[in-house]
Amino acid sequence: MPSRRDEIRLTPEERRAFLAQGRTIYLATNGRRGFPHVVAMWYALDGDDTVVMTTFRKSQKVRNLERDPRSSLLLEEGDRYERLKGLLLEGRCEIVDDEERTLATLAAIASRMGAAAHPTREVLEAMRPQARKRVTLRFHAEREASWDHAKLGGRY
C-alpha cells in the first residue's frame, strides 16, 4: 500500500512543469551566525530543470555561498490546504562570475517575466551594466521533496 507521501509526490514531468510555470522561488543559504538566510528570487531554467538566478556580486547570499555552497530552494503555491503544491530542493549553489553568462541569465529571467522571448541586441546591451555588477547562481539539486495535496481528492 503506497504511503501518503507517495500519493502526493510530483512525477518528474509534473516537477518540470511546476518549475517552468513558477515565478518566485525562495533561496535559503547558511548565514554566518548559523541562521538560515531566506530570500525571494526570480529565476530561469537552464535545460529542463536546472535553476539559475542572478544577484549582486557583493550580496549577503553570495558571501554565504562562498563560505558554504549548501542551500535550498522552495517553490510553493496554493491558498488552501487541499490546494497546496510545492517543491523543496536541497543541493549546492555554484557562483558563476562571468559577464556573458550573467547577461544570458538576466535575459532568460526577463523573458520568463513577460519581456520579449528573444531580446534584441539593443536590449541586451542595455542590460550589460547590470550584468557587470552581478553573478549567476546555478543550483545543483541533490535531494528533493514534493507535494500536491490536490492528488488526495479531499481525503486527509
- Whether 82 and 149 have beta carbons less than 8 Å apart is answered as yes
pLDDT at 115: 66
- Enter the C-alpha cell of residue 124: 541586451
Residue whose grid cell is 507535494:
147
Paired residues of 25 in beta bridges: 41
Question: Is residue 156 situated within a structural domain?
Answer: no
Question: Is residue 83 situated within a structural domain?
Answer: yes
- Enter the C-alpha cell of residue 104: 544570458
Question: Is residue 138 situated within a structural domain?
Answer: yes
Question: Is residue 34 situated within a structural domain?
Answer: yes
pLDDT at 35: 95
Mean pLDDT of the chain: 92
85: Cβ–Cβ under 8 A, 6 or more apart, which residues? 10, 18, 76, 77, 78, 147, 148, 149, 150
Question: Is residue 69 situated within a structural domain?
Answer: yes
Q: Which domain holds residue 32?
A: 4-151
User: Residue 91's domain is classified under what CATH number?
Assistant: 2.30.110.10
Paired residues of 53 in beta bridges: 137
Residue whose grid cell is 481525503:
155
* Average pLDDT estimate for 64-77: 98
Task: Count how many domains the chain has.
Answer: 1
Over the stretch 105-154, which tens digit does the pLDDT of each residue have? 999 998 888 766 677 788 888 889 999 999 999 999 999 999 999 998 87
Question: Is residue 99 situated within a structural domain?
Answer: yes
pLDDT band at 29 (very low <50, low <70, confident <90, very high): very high
- Whether 86 and 146 have beta carbons less than 8 Å apart is answered as yes
